[in-house]
Amino acid sequence: MSLLIFSIDNKEQKEVNKMYHVNNEGKIYPCRAVVRPCPYGKEWHAETKNELYHKILQESPPNEREIEDSLLRELQALGRVKSLYSLSKRIEEVPYPLEILVSNIEFAINYIERKDPKKMERKWDEFKEEASEAVYNVLSYNLDLIDDIPQDIRQKGRELFKERLNGRYVSFAAVNGDKKGFVANDELKSMRNKFRDYEKYKKFGFTKEKKEATLRWLKRDFDRFSHDLNTSKILTKPFFYEDLDVAKKTIKTLDDYELLGAYDDYLVSDDEVVKDIMASNYFKYEPRPDLSREANLKMKEWYDRNRSIAKNWESHVPRRVLLSIEIGKELDRRGISRQ
């Protein structure tokens, strides 16, 4: 792979208190402030990038987060998500699929973490009790049971019948038209929809095990997509790629915020960027079985684009060093504190 033109230091230095920060452009970089205080403020620093990925999203206004209705509905029905399929439609439509993924996955993680599986479990346990009583009632009037009763509820009702009446009937409603028997039967019938939800819950719903398993894969996906997104943001800095003299002129025209952001872009070391690119597997996209075909194509497009940007980046490295010096000088001239 030609991309790897820099050797990476294997004996990774264990730096104590290595910090990362979020700059004004929402990019996460290693913080280098040692002598001077960092311009980005203490609250935008953390020891892991991951912490900051979460923080950026949590601090952004809810209406900007573009949380998908279909995702929210799945969360409300099951207490968790089975896959990312509910995001497919949106991913197909937007030019920024990774932002949609990261934002929605983070939302789902938070939602699921706050949910207590015990509450839902208790709710369905109570329903099972109630429904078993209804089954018992119908049996005690010697009426036939409707078909759609979940197996375990049917079983429990039969046990109650055996336990309490030992095979004797209260009355034979089908023969003597005992109204109480038909009322009991109607009650059981009215539970049909809930029986369906109960079965769904048993199969896909929110148990402690499912909560943990869901959070595991969601967090893995979140880490990956937010890393790829951040790496992409680092690489897509237009004037990385401009002619040196043009870039020098551009520096003078940037406002203070942009200038600080640019300084961050230039200060990051080549090794670090290469490591980030490697960690994103050179932006090679593996289609996901839980996204639609169209959404996968959209994702591949994004990854392919970034892959070629990464290739382009490597040939522009030498001038970055020169430019970082220029930007540093300009910041000092304006009296802006820099790290």
**Cβ-based nearer residue to Zn ion, 39 or 79:** 39
Q: Give the binding range for Zn ion (CB under 5 A) out of 6-14, 33-41, 80-88, 317-325.
A: 33-41
- Please report whether residue 52 would count as binding Zn ion according to CB under 5 A: no
Q: How far apart are CA 79 and CA 201, in angstroms?
A: 9
Q: Give the binding range for Zn ion (CB under 5 A) out of 21-29, 104-112, 229-237, 280-288.
A: 21-29
**Cβ-based nearer residue to Zn ion, 33 or 215:** 33
**Cβ-based nearer residue to Zn ion, 140 or 339:** 339
Tell me, residue by residue from 91 to 120, as one string, x for binding to Zn ion by CB under 5 A and - for no binding. Answer: ------------------------------
- Cα radius of gyration (the chain): 30
Burial label for 207, CB within 10 Å (0-12, 13-18, 19+), is: middle
Out of 22, 28, 38, 134, the residue judged to bind Zn ion by CB under 5 A: 38
Minimum CB separation of residue 37 from Zn ion in Å reads 9
**Cβ-based nearer residue to Zn ion, 38 or 153:** 38
Q: Give the binding range for Zn ion (CB under 5 A) out of 14-22, 51-59, 269-277, 290-298.
A: 14-22
335: left (phi over 0), alpha (psi -120 to 50) or beta: left
Minimum CB separation of residue 266 from Zn ion in Å reads 15
**Cβ-based nearer residue to Zn ion, 40 or 263:** 40
**Cβ-based nearer residue to Zn ion, 31 or 309:** 31
Minimum CB separation of residue 101 from Zn ion in Å reads 27
Tell whether the torsion through CA atoms of 144, 150, 153 and 156 is positive or negative: positive
The phi, psi pair for 177, rounded to 5°, reads: 65, 25
Minimum CB separation of residue 255 from Zn ion in Å reads 20
β-bridge mates for residue 28, sequence order: 22
- Please report whether residue 28 would count as binding Zn ion according to CB under 5 A: no
**According to DSSP H, which parts of the chain are helical?**
49-59, 69-78, 88-93, 97-114, 117-140, 151-165, 173-176, 179-189, 192-204, 208-235, 244-253, 256-267, 270-279, 293-314, 317-334
Enter the tokens of residue 241: 């790629």
- Please report whether residue 31 would count as binding Zn ion according to CB under 5 A: yes
β-bridge mates for residue 20, sequence order: 30, 46
Q: What is the DSSP string of 154-198?
A: HHHHHHHHHHHHTT--S--HHHH--HHHHHHHHHHHTTHHHHHHH
Q: Give the binding range for Zn ion (CB under 5 A) out of 20-28, 142-150, 254-262, 313-321.
A: 20-28
- Please report whether residue 46 would count as binding Zn ion according to CB under 5 A: no
- Please report whether residue 260 would count as binding Zn ion according to CB under 5 A: no
- Please report whether residue 75 would count as binding Zn ion according to CB under 5 A: no
β-bridge mates for residue 29, sequence order: 21
Minimum CB separation of residue 338 from Zn ion in Å reads 10
Q: How far apart are CA 331 and CA 12, in angstroms?
A: 31
Q: Are 235 and 311 in contact (CB under 8 A)?
A: no
Q: Which residues bind Zn ion (CB under 5 A)?
A: 21, 31, 33, 38, 40
